[in-house]
Amino acid sequence: MTSRAFIAGCLGTSLTSGERAFFREARPWGFILFRRNIHSPAQVAALTAQLRDSVGWQAPVLIDQEGGRVQRMSAPHWPVYPAARAFLAINDPLRQREIIRLSARLMAHDLKSVGIDVDCLPVLDAPVAGSHDVIGDRAYAHDPDRVAQLGRAAAEGLLAGGVLPVIKHMPGHGRARADSHHDLPVVEASLETLRGHDFRPFRHLADMPLAMTAHVLFTALDPRRPATVSRPIVTGIMRGELGFDGLIMTDDISMKALSGSFAQKSRAAIRAGVDLVLHCHGVMEEMVAVADSVPMMTGARARRAANALARIRHEPEPLDVDETRAQVAAALAIAG
């Protein structure tokens, strides 16, 4: 069954009849869950099954499970994971990478057990002095090469557990001085500066299956359009210069950094070369506008989707959950 090029949310902890009918007709490629959709393990497992049943295939289900302040599944039913920056307290760089990989492997275990198979992690943004703290401790480090090394460790841990990673926010949100949830960040750094810092982690992880765009305007790349809706950035920088051939999705199309109607924003992202429009709020009127504005998953878009999903259609790497949790907790306790 051919899907449509968007990812949708839902409003509650189970599907309404209206949502079920809409998804059956609109056929989104995937779904995303937020804290409003999370109550208990049994409930989340039932919801992911409902979502897939509504479209008639094993559609991807996404979540933002980074650790720290961005963790949709949390206590009391799931462990609380540290923010990315917390791992820098481990002095040995090799041990840092090992513990980040194990932490991500545990996250994958949590997610896979309730039917979630895509995690919007790792954050590959490398913050600079004066940037907004919307990224802050969500970043692994300030040094872009260190971000690349630690981000790859997290991505590999997810993949080992049968969960797809999403590298974000391409081509870099770390220099932004505003929160794109509320305002449009404008970055005035030169192309040379961006290449030497912001782009580096994304270039190093260009082999990953999925990427999320940054709702950021880079004056040196496109003085009029934010990255998400800029063909020179999506097609020229992300696809061309950075060499990324995986699926590219927007950040949430509802965020205030983007102007225009949902239809206008969705069409602009597709024209720029984005594969999938991400709509998170679950508001029916908005979802209808997005669905009516995006194409079906065909051609290169379908090829990239199939290649991404092929990365996780395997049995997860064996894991002793209790032993691994104890190992990660001990490493962080010693570091602290």
Q: Which residues are catalytic?
A: 181, 251
Residues paired with residue 217 on neighbouring β-strands, in sequence order: 186
Residue 156, Cβ neighbours under 10 Å: how many? Answer: 19
Residue pair 90/335 in contact by the 8 Å Cβ criterion:
yes
Phi, psi (rounded to 5 degrees) for 166: -125, 115
Instruction: Please state, in angstroms and rounded to a whole number, the distance separating the CA atoms of residues 16 and 9.
Output: 12
Question: How wide is the angle at C-alpha 306 spanned by C-alphas 285 and 286, nearest 5°?
Answer: 5
Q: How many CA atoms lie within 13 A of 261 on its CB side?
A: 12
Instruction: Please state, in angstroms and rounded to a whole number, the distance separating the CA atoms of residues 215 and 168.
Output: 11
Cβ neighbors of 29 (< 8 A, separation 6 or more) are 3, 4, 5, 6, 7, 59, 60, 276, 297, 305
| Burial class of 43 by CB neighbour count within 10 A (0 to 12, 13 to 18, 19+) | middle
Q: Which residues of 309-328 are buried (b: 16+ CB within 10 A; e: fewer)?
A: bebbeeeeeebeeeebbebb
